[in-house]
Amino acid sequence: MSFELETASATPGKLRRVAIDPVSRVEGHGKVTILLDEHGKVQQVRLHIVEFRGFERFVQGRPYWELPVMVQRLCGICPVSHHLAASKALDLIVGADRLTPTADKMRRLMHYGQILQSHALHFFHLSSPDLLLGFDSEVTKRNIAGVVEKYPEIAKKGILLRKYGQELIRLTAGKRVHGTGSVPGGVNRSLTAAERRLLLDDAARTIAWSGDAVGLIRELHAQDPALYDHFGAFPSNFMGMVAADGSLDLYHGALRAKDADGNILFDQVDYRTYDALITEEVKPWTYMKFPYLSSLGPERGWYKVGPLARVQNCDRIPTPLAEHARREFLAHGAGRPMHGALGNHWARMIEMLFAAETIEALLHDEALEGSELVVAGERRREGVGVIEAPRGTLFHHYQVGDDDLVTMANLIVATTHNNQAMNAAVREVAKKYLDGRAITEGLLNRIEVAIRAYDPCLSCATHALGQMPLEVALLDAEGNELDCKYRA
Amino acid sequence: MNDSFLLDGETIPFSPGQTVMQAAAAAGKYIPHLCWHPDFAPHGSCRLCIVRIGGRYATACTVGAARGQVVENRSEAIDAERRTLLQLLFVEGNHFCPSCEKSGDCVLQATAYEMGMLTPHFDHFYPDRPLDASHPEVLLEFNRCILCELCVRASRDVDRKNVFALAGRGLRSHLIVNSESGRLADTDFAATDRAAAVCPVGAILKKRVGFAMPIGKRTYDPRPIGKSHEPGTREDE
Ligand code: SF4
Ligand code: FES
């Protein structure tokens, strides 16, 4: 099926094409094409994403115990999520139905460290330039260096928060990037008393600064509610994982979905049945699939995942400061679910605060120094693992033969869940800001801002932050290039 | 013991019948090597142990120690030759260190670090070598085999089973399993065999161990290869 503005109605020959390629300051490679008609009216908007289905093929035939380390290479920015989702799937394969307290807590610490560093990176390094300096501010200054110059304190906190998250990852996974800490059935290391103390030293400061970040984004919303509440806004379902008591848990739980009005569609669904819940639609114009909730069908069943969905999907957040922040956030929506793309930033900072509080609580737990690391039980042939990655729900699904080699792999990453949401956000923005107007740097950047709010990890390609070149091509009705702009 | 030779200017004693490699190892001196192992007869195939004796190249694992020899080992020129040999080994097989469980315990990787190999330099062959996962306890990952024949020697000389052999010539050389089907499961190979624990790279692996050893505790995490050489031992086991 096709959504409004997904496929042009006019004859393609009479349309003008605007391509934004690649989108700068998102992780990976994406391309936006906007087809205009002769009068400069938006006819078709599509977000093309380079997908990485290749991984599912080349892990086939590999021994299963390699997976948690191998699949991290999917992403240069949230490798820990893949590391843990694969480990959780393999826990089931090796029959480890209940991990030791040490293993469970080490993995949680690793995961919340990852949430912290990724959310800090996204907010401070990637998005704060747009939000603090303005969408139309000078391009050469609209980056983390520009923020350092104008708001040195904020930039410094952002950098140190991220560093702390990376340190948590290093001490739980063995390396800051691409560690090996989580293994099928548990972990391969625990903390020493000295490491736990060292990490505890900075925990309180991390909570305080995360609280400041929530305050900052809340203020930005208050300054320009029209923009923040409505930019890239469109109603949709939400999906995410919640704990058994309905509270927010990013490491383990069951699936819950709500409709655009906040009514529960399903709750406490075992994630191992995800393939009955979700259908992945293939479209001819992109390699990336479009998942939707099977019960609602492709037209009404698409959904958002990630911070905005999670914070509104749960009943409460189990840490006090983040719960307070969640209530403030909901109060802002005055009883209605919020769908604005920029609401993701606020929700993301609430989650960062939740991660910071969770990290401190975990670090007070001596189980982190335990020596019982791995368990195993009866072997299974199939396992599904789910985790709430920084960008949203992440599924890893494997089948393993009796010879220990992987026979089937299926991954659904957050960016794929959000595919339709991002397309809708871009269409929304294009309709509002581009329709019939001249194409300016600021207008094009708004499209990027809408995409970036979902923090997409567009491919496993890593690149220098903020340095991805932007190419804008203007094509006339016959497909000839009229103009082409680059920025570095 | 009056018998001695000079290794990079240092006096190394030796007893009659010892090779340069054996005498150096006994004295705690590192001569880079891949196919040599103190417990097995020298093989002389990898050429990593090349040294210069009186200006001429020789493989330290096969050449006998002799009184008054002047042996050049870790000079930049010889290490550069070794780097090239390592680069050839890396491109001939499929050595993806980032997802290999032997990383940190691998003699090939450790030697490449020690020789300062930073890039593969040559074009990768990307050979297609299917794994043999038929055995319940041991996995054969042929993509990483460097044809050192240590498993061949261990299985033949210690385990008395003759499970492995090399077949083919030149670039076509490859490791095979001596069974009708060619599968490891159809031999009398056991996980407790010496041959199961001798592979310097990640080609013969005990199954389901994977990444159990944390980063920091692997063989070459505390010290690079050659820096921890205890007299008379090899550090990769
Ligand atoms: S399998 Fe290992 S021990 Fe055997 S020849 Fe290959 S590299 Fe050497
Ligand atoms: S160690 Fe001497 S040739 Fe291999």
- The yes-or-no verdict on residue A360 having pLDDT over 90 is yes
Average pLDDT, chain B: 93
Q: What is the mean pLDDT of residues B205-217?
A: 97
Of B131, B210, B214, the CB nearest to A65: B210
Q: For A406, name the nearest residue in chain B, comparing CA atoms only.
A: B133
Closest ligand to Cα B203: 1
Helices and strands (DSSP H and E) totals, chain A:
18, 16
Best residue among B36, B37, B53, B153 to mutate for probing ligand 2, ranked by most atoms within 8 Å of CB: B36
Residue A99 phi/psi, 5-degree rounding, is -75, 165
* A403 contacts B210? CB cut-off 8 A: no
Is residue A186 within 8 angstroms of chain B, CB to CB? no
Could you tell me the sign of the dihedral formed by the alpha carbons of A247, A250, A253, A259, in that order? Answer: positive
pLDDT at residue B21 above 90?
yes
Say if B41 is an interface residue toward chain A (CB within 8 Å). Answer: no
- pLDDT value at A472 more than 50: no
Please say if the pLDDT value at position A49 is more than 70. Answer: no
- Residue B189 vs residues A66, A449, B132, B209: alpha-carbon distances, Å: 24, 60, 13, 18
CA Rg value for chain A: 22
Angle, alpha carbons A339-A341-A345 (nearest 5°):
110
Q: Collect all residues of chain B within an 8 Å Cβ-Cβ radius of residue A61.
A: 130-131
Nearest residue in chain B measured CA to CA from A68: B99
- Would an 8 Å CB–CB cutoff place A234 in contact with chain B? no
* A43-57, A203-217, A274-288, B137-151, range with the lowest pLDDT: A43-57
Query: Length of chain B in residues, anyone?
Result: 237
Q: Are strands B164-167 and B174-177 parallel, antiparallel or unpaired?
A: antiparallel
Give how far A116 is from chain B: nearest CA, Å.
Answer: 23
- Identify from B208, B209, B213 which residue to disrupt to test chain A contact, counting A C-beta atoms within 10 A and taking the largest count: B208
- Reported as a pLDDT band with limits 50, 70 and 90, residue A16 is low
ipTM of the complex: 0.91
- Residue A287 above 80 pLDDT? no
Whole-model pTM: value is 0.89
CA distance, residue B100 to nearest chain A CA (Å): 7
3-state secondary structure of A28: coil
Report the pLDDT averaged over residues A266-277.
94
Beta carbons of B215 and A174 less than 8 Å apart = yes
Mean pLDDT of B17-39: 96
- Is A61 near chain B, with CB under 8 Å? yes
For A120, the token pair is 């800090």
For residue A134, give the amino acid letter. Answer: G
Q: How many CA atoms lie within 13 A of A356 on its CB side?
A: 32
- CA separation for the pair B187, A165 (Å, rounded): 50
Each residue's pLDDT tens digit, B109-123: 999 999 999 999 999
Q: Where do the structural domains in chain B lie, given as residue ranges? A: 4-74, 94-223
Burial A139-164 (b: 16+ CB within 10 A, else e): beebbbebbbeebeebbebbebbbeb
Strands of A237-338, DSSP E: 237-242, 254-258, 264-269, 278-281, 290-293, 303-304
What atom in ligand 2 is closest to the CA of residue B33? 1
pLDDT at A398: 97
- B4-74 and B94-223 share one fold: no
Chain B interface, mutation test: which of A55, A69, A93, A379, most B Cβ atoms within 10 Å?
A69
At residue A104, the pLDDT reads 98
What is the C-alpha to C-alpha distance for residues B177 and B160, in angstroms, rounded to an integer? 14
**Average pLDDT in chain A:** 84
CATH 3.10.20.740 describes domain B4-74: yes
Tell me the domains of chain A and their CATH numbers. Answer: 55-419 (1.10.645.10)
Q: Among the bound ligands, name the one nearest to the CA of residue B50.
A: 2
Give pLDDT, residue A463.
26
- Does residue A466 surpass a pLDDT of 60? no
**Tell me: the pLDDT tens digits for B158-173?**
999 999 999 998 888 9
Q: What is the pLDDT of residue A148?
A: 79
The CATH code that applies to domain B94-223 is 3.30.70.20
What confidence score (pLDDT) does residue A409 get? Answer: 92
CB of A183 less than 8 A from some CB of B: yes
* Nearest by CB: A180 against B134, B208, B211: B211
Mean pLDDT, rounded, for B87-110: 95
**d(Cα A279, Cα A329) in Å, to the nearest integer?**
32
For the CA of B32, the nearest atom of ligand 2: 1
